[in-house]
Amino acid sequence: MLKGISPMLSPDLLKVLCEMGHGDTIVIADGNFPAETMGKDAIVLRMDGHGVPEILKAVLEVFPLDQYVDKPVSLMERVPGDNADISIWKIYEKMIAKEEPRGTDVIQTLERFAFYEEAKKAYAVIATSETSQYANVILQKGCVL
């Protein structure tokens, strides 16, 4: 255990976050996301038993978002005609607004298959047990100033 570090951040996850460089991305994926398929060229970390919000909160406390791009946070858009509940996004917005000086302006949505293409480029994918649909998040790492 470390003081001031969320116990949600396992040694493996901390190592990955430290290894990532400016511009690298990490996906925090819901339980329906094809983590192994999308992450076949990435590091895939299993965090079964946890949801995206609790992991996102812990990551955002130590992870600088890229200050040189307008939208370092990407969410997967709901497929047209799908009425899945996306209220989890409100939770993300509150967390991001707390940790990011630019507030929620840093968030963009990507069409499902565009999101998958970006996820394939990620340095790492965190597979969770999140049951909410469209709960996937891609974060782009910035610099510690």
Residues involved in catalysis: 22
Furthest-apart CA atoms within the chain: distance in Å:
46
CA 57 to CA 94: how far, in whole Å?
10
Q: 3-class DSSP state for residue 25?
A: strand
Q: β-strand 107-110 against 25-29: which pairing, if any?
A: unpaired
The residues with which 73 forms a beta bridge, in sequence order, are 107, 139
Sign for the CA dihedral angle at 22, 61, 87, 42 comes to positive
Residue type present at position 13:
L
CA 56 to CA 66: how far, in whole Å?
16
